[in-house]
Amino acid sequence: MIDDKAQIIENLKVKILLEEEDKGEEYNDKIDEEIEIKEEDVVEWSKLKRTIRDFIKKMKENEKTIEETLEENIEEQVELNKRKRNDEKNYGNEREKVKRKKTESKGFKKILGELRNEAYKMEIKEENDKERLSKRVLSMKRKTIKYCYEIGKDVTNKI
């Protein structure tokens, strides 16, 4: 394990090329430096690397879970929206049916009222006709009796 650490330290020695430009000068200074990395830094760096790797792994898992949940929620929302539209259509149809029934019942009531008025007028007319008829019959009966009485008088007078 110590050999591994030493090898990591050797591999992690980094050459940094620093370029500095002076705007007033025509040349660039280039500096090559070798940086020594301590063993403690390497250990901390590898711990940090593992921690970051675990963190990224967890984040990806969470992201998948979130996406799945989001897809489910979207599907549920789409289904709810469809139901809502259907309910609104059905409610609109029900309201139209109720309005139609009210209109039809108003029309029916109006026609029924007119028919009742006509029936009442016909009853009154029939009663008036019956009255006139009974008056005529009574009048004819009286006239017949009167004529019979007169004929009877004439017959008895002639005999």
What is the rounded average pLDDT for all residues in the chain? Answer: 74
Take residue 52 and report the two structure tokens written for it. Answer: 């970051």
pLDDT of residue 148: 77
Q: First CA to last CA across the chain, in angstroms?
A: 172
- Segment 58-85 mean pLDDT: 88
Does this model's pTM top 0.75?
Answer: no
- The pLDDT, as a whole number, for residue 23 is 44
112 CB neighbour count, 10 Å cutoff = 11
Highest mean pLDDT among 4-13, 18-27, 121-130: 121-130
pLDDT at 25 over 60: no
Where do the domains of the chain lie?
2-158
pLDDT for res 138: 85
In this prediction, residue 154 has a pLDDT band, given cuts at 50, 70 and 90, of low
Across residues 122-140, what is the average pLDDT?
86
The span from the CA of 79 to the CA of 63, in Å, is: 24
Query: Where does the pLDDT of residue 11 fall: very low under 50, low under 70, confident under 90, or very high at 90 and above?
Result: low
- Helix and strand element counts for the chain (H, E): 2, 2
Q: Residue 113: its pLDDT value, please?
A: 84
The tokens 């004529």 sit on which residue? 147
